[in-house]
Structure 1
């Protein structure tokens, strides 16, 4: 088979079907008729001599061969964009834009500070920041929608390269005035005697809390649920609620003493990690390498919370 076919529109049509899971939806996004997309998929399958999709009632899912081709197509797409941008930059026509996806907790202060520091000390690049769930961030990296993802993970993800990883234990957080604030140690079950303010069900924190509740054989019911960390922390500050967070996001408030991280033995061990993710086997441009190095340097190890 000639490699020429890998450089043609057929691969672009194929990748759109992978992303949408439907020939009709791909055709809409490509502004062509569905039969045109179908012909290109058939052509590719004929050239490769194998099915590229598994046809299901709920849509089209890439076969093993389709997954290999999709991974290649995404890397090629990113590298083509990079070459074009670098040539334009030589003519002084454009600045490099770095596309970052992150979870909500990073978006409030960590990412803005990292971007500002990078622009001051490395290069005046432009940035596009997308906020999504942990799984959504990883999917955007896999689909080549972004250059880098900053998220939480419970383990390896397909087609993802992990450029940085650090453990991210869960902390139980209360206000300084909370009855448990000065306890030397608190069991997870003791926390359940107080109102809980929990992240929404799509967050990795909520998944972990569900695991801890399951281990204790109890149900965890929240009096306040929110996808915004500031809402949870704000409620905790003015009530006897217990909330949960990664240490990085509450570090200033722990240092000031307005919030307290409880010593909860059941929460010490956590499978969750902070990750900086890129698309596997992609050749990263120097500017992206530099930004990843900046992010890695700005993700310090968790501070040990000392009880007063």
Structure 2
């Protein structure tokens, strides 16, 4: 296969149409179409589902695209190793995460890591709970940090931490000094993420199992927006992992509390990578740094807010 064919193929796969790939590459539509057809003829399979709305990869196309991405990542790693320590020190680390972790925790940790390794750069992509594992399996990141409810195939779990559903509110809230049951939340304005978030799914399931109906006053798919709404709304309560709020809670006058329900303890926070993907020395150093920081901050947060969970 020729490099031009692969380059045009990946451009169409990324943009979703030949016309968009043409604009991206500054190459005529006819030339891109001709090279795609030549590639499909050479391989003996079609690579795209063609429709008036564009071109989407079929199963064969996904296989080829994933292979190309892994080959490119392996080549970047090989070049870095050949160039030695200087190249490693200039490594770009690609991280994907779900929304709550991007609010404050990950920017904080990345900035701290760069104080130790100032020539390392990061690319952080925030995705949904469904998008993140696909990015891992497709080799489009070096590391994923996300909440999960059950084991997944095709990813390597590098570390795992308990991450139950907790609630947060202003520290002068009437519920702040007592044990809380789900039914107690009905008397207050509840703020929730949308149904695509694993924490919302687990919270709704627990409510159904305990015959509790909660109608949120505000729903949003961005955690920073939920957080600000709680800070500005008297009596408001929202759900979160302690990892999402631990670095900001005290300075914003918030408190973190547990809810006495076992069903809310089924989530974990995981560090994940693509199965079998080679790692550079700098990426391994970042893994170790994250694991130690998360363990330390977890213990500090439990002690500070008297959080009792396994």
TM range, smaller chain: 0.7 to 0.9
| 1:57-96 per-position Cα deviation (integer Å, ceiling 9, x unaligned) | 6544433333322221111112223344555677879822
State the partner residue of 2:235. Answer: 240
State the partner residue of 2:203. Answer: 209
The 8 Å contact of residues 185 and 264 in structure 1, kept in 2 or not, is answered as yes
Instruction: State how 1:133-148 maps to structure 2 within 5 Å.
Output: 133-142=128-137, 144-148=139-143
The 8 Å contact of residues 156 and 276 in structure 2, kept in 1 or not, is answered as yes
- How far 1:243 moved relative to its partner? 0.5
Q: How many residues align?
A: 301
**Is 1:194 equivalent to 2:188 in the alignment?**
yes
- How far 1:241 moved relative to its partner? 1.9
Following the alignment from structure 1 to structure 2, what is the Cα–Cα distance between the partners of residues 215 and 92? 54
RMSD over aligned CA atoms reads 3.7
Following the alignment from structure 1 to structure 2, what is the Cα–Cα distance between the partners of residues 307 and 277? 26
1:259 aligned to which of 234, 255, 258: 255
Following the alignment from structure 2 to structure 1, what is the Cα–Cα distance between the partners of residues 72 and 247? 41
| 1:212-268 per-position Cα deviation (integer Å, ceiling 9, x unaligned) | 445456664322334554553454455222210002233367789841414331543
The 8 Å contact of residues 170 and 267 in structure 1, kept in 2 or not, is answered as no
The 8 Å contact of residues 132 and 144 in structure 2, kept in 1 or not, is answered as yes
- How far 1:150 moved relative to its partner? 2.0
- Greater shift after overlay, 216-225 or 33-42? 216-225
The 8 Å contact of residues 202 and 264 in structure 2, kept in 1 or not, is answered as no
The 8 Å contact of residues 174 and 262 in structure 1, kept in 2 or not, is answered as no
Change (3 A) 1:93 1:247: closer
- How far 1:274 moved relative to its partner? 1.9
State the partner residue of 2:3. Answer: 8
Instruction: State how 1:133-172 maps to structure 2 within 5 Å.
Output: 133-142=128-137, 144-155=139-150, 160-172=155-167
Following the alignment from structure 2 to structure 1, what is the Cα–Cα distance between the partners of residues 260 and 31? 59
Q: Given the two structures, how large is their TM-score scaled by the length of structure 1?
A: 0.77
Following the alignment from structure 1 to structure 2, what is the Cα–Cα distance between the partners of residues 307 and 167? 12
2:105 aligned to which of 107, 110, 116: 110
Following the alignment from structure 1 to structure 2, what is the Cα–Cα distance between the partners of residues 71 and 27? 22
State the partner residue of 2:69. Answer: 74
State the partner residue of 1:49. Answer: 44
Following the alignment from structure 1 to structure 2, what is the Cα–Cα distance between the partners of residues 76 and 107? 29
State the partner residue of 1:223. Answer: 217
Structure 2 gap ranges (5+)? none
Q: Given the two structures, how large is their TM-score scaled by the length of structure 2?
A: 0.77
The 8 Å contact of residues 88 and 94 in structure 1, kept in 2 or not, is answered as no
Structure 1 gap ranges (5+)? none
- How far 1:170 moved relative to its partner? 0.8
